[in-house]
Amino acid sequence: MLNIILCGAPGSGKGTQSELIVKKYDLQHLSTGDVLRAEIAKGSELGKKIDALISQGNLVPDDMMYGVIENYIASLPADCKGTIFDGYPRTVAQAESLTELLKKHGMEAVMIDLLVDEQLLIQRLIERGKISGRADDNLNTIRHRIAVYHNQTEPIAHYYLHHGNYVAVNGNHNVEDVFLQIERILDK
Ligand code: AP5
Ligand code: MG
Protein backbone atom coordinates (compact mmCIF):
# COMPACT_ATOMS: atom_id res chain seq x y z
CA MET A 1 0.00 0.00 0.00
CA LEU A 2 1.46 3.32 -1.11
CA ASN A 3 -0.12 6.33 0.60
CA ILE A 4 1.32 9.69 -0.42
CA ILE A 5 0.60 13.02 1.16
CA LEU A 6 1.31 15.52 -1.58
CA CYS A 7 1.89 18.80 0.15
CA GLY A 8 2.87 22.22 -1.13
CA ALA A 9 1.75 25.80 -1.38
CA PRO A 10 -1.11 26.89 -3.64
CA GLY A 11 0.10 26.51 -7.22
CA SER A 12 2.99 24.20 -6.30
CA GLY A 13 1.67 21.53 -8.68
CA LYS A 14 -0.15 19.12 -6.35
CA GLY A 15 -3.00 18.52 -8.80
CA THR A 16 -0.72 18.33 -11.85
CA GLN A 17 1.67 15.82 -10.27
CA SER A 18 -1.19 13.80 -8.74
CA GLU A 19 -2.55 13.10 -12.22
CA LEU A 20 0.83 11.80 -13.39
CA ILE A 21 1.33 9.68 -10.26
CA VAL A 22 -2.17 8.18 -10.59
CA LYS A 23 -1.47 7.16 -14.19
CA LYS A 24 1.87 5.50 -13.49
CA TYR A 25 1.22 3.93 -10.06
CA ASP A 26 -2.52 3.21 -10.30
CA LEU A 27 -3.39 4.96 -7.05
CA GLN A 28 -6.59 6.67 -5.90
CA HIS A 29 -6.51 10.48 -5.86
CA LEU A 30 -8.24 12.45 -3.13
CA SER A 31 -8.13 16.22 -3.66
CA THR A 32 -9.90 17.82 -0.71
CA GLY A 33 -10.12 21.08 -2.68
CA ASP A 34 -12.07 19.24 -5.42
CA VAL A 35 -14.35 17.58 -2.82
CA LEU A 36 -15.12 21.00 -1.31
CA ARG A 37 -15.72 22.64 -4.71
CA ALA A 38 -18.11 19.79 -5.60
CA GLU A 39 -20.08 20.57 -2.42
CA ILE A 40 -20.20 24.26 -3.41
CA ALA A 41 -21.45 23.29 -6.89
CA LYS A 42 -24.40 21.47 -5.28
CA GLY A 43 -25.57 24.79 -3.87
CA SER A 44 -26.25 23.21 -0.46
CA GLU A 45 -26.27 25.22 2.79
CA LEU A 46 -22.97 23.55 3.68
CA GLY A 47 -21.63 24.49 0.24
CA LYS A 48 -22.46 28.14 0.86
CA LYS A 49 -20.50 28.11 4.11
CA ILE A 50 -17.56 26.42 2.40
CA ASP A 51 -17.71 28.91 -0.48
CA ALA A 52 -17.43 31.85 1.92
CA LEU A 53 -14.23 30.36 3.37
CA ILE A 54 -12.57 29.19 0.14
CA SER A 55 -13.25 32.37 -1.82
CA GLN A 56 -11.45 34.32 0.91
CA GLY A 57 -8.56 31.85 0.88
CA ASN A 58 -9.23 30.55 4.39
CA LEU A 59 -9.18 26.92 5.49
CA VAL A 60 -12.33 24.94 6.18
CA PRO A 61 -12.46 23.88 9.88
CA ASP A 62 -10.63 20.68 10.83
CA ASP A 63 -13.74 18.93 12.18
CA MET A 64 -15.52 19.35 8.85
CA MET A 65 -12.53 17.92 6.98
CA TYR A 66 -12.25 14.98 9.36
CA GLY A 67 -15.64 13.61 8.27
CA VAL A 68 -14.59 13.78 4.60
CA ILE A 69 -11.41 11.79 5.25
CA GLU A 70 -13.06 9.29 7.58
CA ASN A 71 -15.74 8.50 4.97
CA TYR A 72 -13.13 8.29 2.24
CA ILE A 73 -10.92 5.80 4.08
CA ALA A 74 -13.88 3.70 5.21
CA SER A 75 -15.06 3.37 1.60
CA LEU A 76 -11.74 2.36 0.02
CA PRO A 77 -12.01 -0.78 -2.14
CA ALA A 78 -10.20 -3.86 -0.81
CA ASP A 79 -7.86 -3.95 -3.83
CA CYS A 80 -6.81 -0.30 -3.44
CA LYS A 81 -3.06 0.13 -4.06
CA GLY A 82 -2.94 3.37 -2.10
CA THR A 83 -4.01 7.01 -2.17
CA ILE A 84 -2.53 10.36 -3.05
CA PHE A 85 -3.81 12.82 -0.48
CA ASP A 86 -3.71 16.12 -2.40
CA GLY A 87 -4.22 19.07 -0.08
CA TYR A 88 -4.78 17.02 3.08
CA PRO A 89 -3.60 17.35 5.81
CA ARG A 90 -3.24 21.12 5.98
CA THR A 91 -2.86 21.62 9.71
CA VAL A 92 -0.95 19.72 12.39
CA ALA A 93 -4.27 18.63 13.91
CA GLN A 94 -5.29 17.15 10.53
CA ALA A 95 -1.91 15.39 10.27
CA GLU A 96 -2.33 13.86 13.72
CA SER A 97 -5.85 12.64 13.00
CA LEU A 98 -4.83 11.22 9.60
CA THR A 99 -1.99 9.25 11.22
CA GLU A 100 -4.49 7.81 13.73
CA LEU A 101 -7.07 6.99 11.05
CA LEU A 102 -4.52 5.29 8.80
CA LYS A 103 -3.11 3.37 11.76
CA LYS A 104 -6.59 2.11 12.62
CA HIS A 105 -6.70 0.58 9.12
CA GLY A 106 -3.12 -0.76 9.31
CA MET A 107 -1.75 1.90 6.95
CA GLU A 108 0.79 4.71 6.95
CA ALA A 109 1.83 7.49 4.58
CA VAL A 110 4.88 9.36 3.32
CA MET A 111 4.82 13.11 2.75
CA ILE A 112 6.19 14.54 -0.48
CA ASP A 113 6.64 18.30 -0.12
CA LEU A 114 6.66 20.33 -3.35
CA LEU A 115 8.85 23.37 -2.71
CA VAL A 116 8.31 26.29 -5.11
CA ASP A 117 9.44 29.93 -4.96
CA GLU A 118 6.71 32.40 -4.10
CA GLN A 119 7.01 34.50 -7.28
CA LEU A 120 6.54 31.39 -9.40
CA LEU A 121 3.48 30.32 -7.38
CA ILE A 122 1.85 33.69 -7.93
CA GLN A 123 2.72 33.69 -11.62
CA ARG A 124 1.25 30.20 -12.15
CA LEU A 125 -1.97 30.96 -10.29
CA ILE A 126 -2.54 34.32 -11.98
CA GLU A 127 -2.08 32.57 -15.31
CA ARG A 128 -4.47 29.76 -14.33
CA GLY A 129 -6.95 32.32 -12.99
CA LYS A 130 -7.51 33.59 -16.54
CA ILE A 131 -9.32 30.33 -17.36
CA SER A 132 -9.94 28.38 -14.14
CA GLY A 133 -13.05 30.20 -12.93
CA ARG A 134 -11.80 29.57 -9.38
CA ALA A 135 -12.96 32.29 -6.99
CA ASP A 136 -9.62 32.12 -5.15
CA ASP A 137 -7.37 32.65 -8.21
CA ASN A 138 -6.99 36.43 -7.91
CA LEU A 139 -3.94 38.28 -6.60
CA ASN A 140 -5.30 39.30 -3.18
CA THR A 141 -6.67 35.86 -2.40
CA ILE A 142 -3.58 34.13 -3.78
CA ARG A 143 -1.40 36.18 -1.41
CA HIS A 144 -3.68 35.30 1.49
CA ARG A 145 -3.68 31.59 0.56
CA ILE A 146 0.12 31.63 0.57
CA ALA A 147 0.17 33.33 3.99
CA VAL A 148 -2.30 30.73 5.34
CA TYR A 149 -0.05 28.02 3.92
CA HIS A 150 3.00 29.44 5.75
CA ASN A 151 1.14 29.86 9.04
CA GLN A 152 -1.02 26.76 9.17
CA THR A 153 0.27 24.16 6.71
CA GLU A 154 4.06 24.49 6.67
CA PRO A 155 4.35 23.21 10.29
CA ILE A 156 3.16 19.78 9.12
CA ALA A 157 6.51 19.37 7.32
CA HIS A 158 8.17 19.30 10.76
CA TYR A 159 5.54 16.83 11.94
CA TYR A 160 6.38 14.33 9.14
CA LEU A 161 10.11 15.05 9.36
CA HIS A 162 9.93 14.22 13.05
CA HIS A 163 8.13 10.95 12.25
CA GLY A 164 10.77 10.05 9.65
CA ASN A 165 8.53 10.01 6.60
CA TYR A 166 9.22 13.29 4.82
CA VAL A 167 10.80 13.93 1.40
CA ALA A 168 11.22 17.35 -0.23
CA VAL A 169 11.05 17.89 -3.99
CA ASN A 170 12.21 20.95 -5.88
CA GLY A 171 9.00 22.02 -7.63
CA ASN A 172 10.50 24.99 -9.47
CA HIS A 173 11.29 22.92 -12.57
CA ASN A 174 9.01 22.02 -15.45
CA VAL A 175 6.26 19.44 -14.94
CA GLU A 176 8.26 16.53 -16.41
CA ASP A 177 11.37 17.23 -14.31
CA VAL A 178 9.36 17.51 -11.11
CA PHE A 179 7.71 14.18 -11.92
CA LEU A 180 11.13 12.60 -12.52
CA GLN A 181 12.13 13.52 -8.96
CA ILE A 182 8.89 12.01 -7.63
CA GLU A 183 9.39 8.82 -9.65
CA ARG A 184 12.87 8.39 -8.17
CA ILE A 185 11.40 8.59 -4.67
CA LEU A 186 8.49 6.23 -5.37
CA ASP A 187 10.57 3.67 -7.25
CA LYS A 188 12.91 3.20 -4.29
P1 AP5 B 1 -6.90 23.31 -3.19
O2 AP5 B 1 -7.86 23.06 -4.25
O3 AP5 B 1 -6.13 22.20 -2.64
O4 AP5 B 1 -5.98 24.52 -3.66
P5 AP5 B 1 -4.49 24.97 -3.30
O6 AP5 B 1 -3.83 24.21 -2.23
O7 AP5 B 1 -4.59 26.43 -3.13
O8 AP5 B 1 -3.68 24.54 -4.54
P9 AP5 B 1 -4.06 24.65 -6.07
O10 AP5 B 1 -5.05 23.58 -6.39
O11 AP5 B 1 -4.39 26.03 -6.43
O12 AP5 B 1 -2.64 24.34 -6.70
P13 AP5 B 1 -1.91 22.95 -6.93
O14 AP5 B 1 -0.80 22.83 -5.95
O15 AP5 B 1 -2.88 21.82 -7.04
O16 AP5 B 1 -1.25 23.24 -8.32
P17 AP5 B 1 -1.75 22.85 -9.79
O18 AP5 B 1 -1.24 21.51 -10.15
O19 AP5 B 1 -3.19 23.12 -9.93
O20 AP5 B 1 -7.69 23.99 -1.95
C21 AP5 B 1 -8.53 25.09 -2.18
C22 AP5 B 1 -9.13 25.56 -0.87
O23 AP5 B 1 -9.94 24.52 -0.31
C24 AP5 B 1 -8.15 25.92 0.24
O25 AP5 B 1 -7.67 27.24 0.12
C26 AP5 B 1 -9.03 25.74 1.48
O27 AP5 B 1 -9.90 26.82 1.61
C28 AP5 B 1 -9.86 24.52 1.11
N29 AP5 B 1 -9.22 23.27 1.55
C30 AP5 B 1 -8.73 22.28 0.76
N31 AP5 B 1 -8.21 21.29 1.50
C32 AP5 B 1 -8.40 21.65 2.79
C33 AP5 B 1 -8.05 21.05 4.03
N34 AP5 B 1 -7.38 19.88 4.08
N35 AP5 B 1 -8.37 21.71 5.18
C36 AP5 B 1 -9.02 22.89 5.14
N37 AP5 B 1 -9.37 23.52 4.00
C38 AP5 B 1 -9.05 22.90 2.82
O39 AP5 B 1 -0.90 23.91 -10.63
C40 AP5 B 1 -1.22 25.28 -10.60
C41 AP5 B 1 -0.98 25.87 -12.01
O42 AP5 B 1 0.40 25.79 -12.34
C43 AP5 B 1 -1.72 25.11 -13.11
O44 AP5 B 1 -2.14 26.01 -14.07
C45 AP5 B 1 -0.64 24.17 -13.67
O46 AP5 B 1 -0.85 23.88 -15.01
C47 AP5 B 1 0.63 24.98 -13.47
N48 AP5 B 1 1.79 24.14 -13.14
C49 AP5 B 1 1.83 23.09 -12.29
N50 AP5 B 1 3.07 22.58 -12.22
C51 AP5 B 1 3.84 23.35 -13.04
C52 AP5 B 1 5.24 23.33 -13.37
N53 AP5 B 1 6.09 22.42 -12.85
N54 AP5 B 1 5.70 24.28 -14.23
C55 AP5 B 1 4.86 25.22 -14.75
N56 AP5 B 1 3.52 25.28 -14.48
C57 AP5 B 1 3.03 24.36 -13.61
MG1 MG C 1 -4.95 21.58 -6.67
Count of positions (residues) in the chain: 188
Which tens digits make up the pLDDT trace of 82-107? Answer: 999 999 999 999 999 999 999 999 99
CATH number of the domain at 160, please: 3.40.50.300
Structure confidence at residue 52 (pLDDT):
97
Q: How many domains does the chain have?
A: 1
pLDDT for position 188: 87
Pocket test for ligand 1, best of 59, 69, 92 (most atoms within 8 A of CB): 59
Kindly report the backbone phi and psi dihedral angles of residue 169, in degrees, each rounded to the nearest multiple of 5, phi listed first: -130, 140
- pLDDT higher than 90, residue 116: yes
The ligand placed nearest to the CA atom of residue 130 is 1
Q: Could you read off the pLDDT of 132-141 as tens digits, one per residue?
A: 999 999 999 9
Quickly state the pLDDT bin for 119 (edges 50, 70, 90): very high
CA of 63 to the centre of ligand 2 (A): 21
Cβ contact 140:146 at 8 Å: no
pLDDT at 18 over 90: yes
Helix (H, G, I), strand (E, B) or coil at 80: coil
Range of the domain at 49: 2-186
Please state, rounded to an integer, the average pLDDT across all residues of the chain.
Answer: 96
Instruction: Report yes or no on whether pTM surpasses 0.85.
Output: yes
CA-proximal residue: ligand 1, atom 42 (nearest): 124
Interval 54-74: pLDDT, tens:
999 999 999 999 999 999 999
By most ligand atoms within 8 Å of CB, the mutation choice from 5, 19, 36 for ligand 1 is 36
What is the spatial distance between Cα 50 and Cα 140, in angstroms, rounded to a whole number? Answer: 19
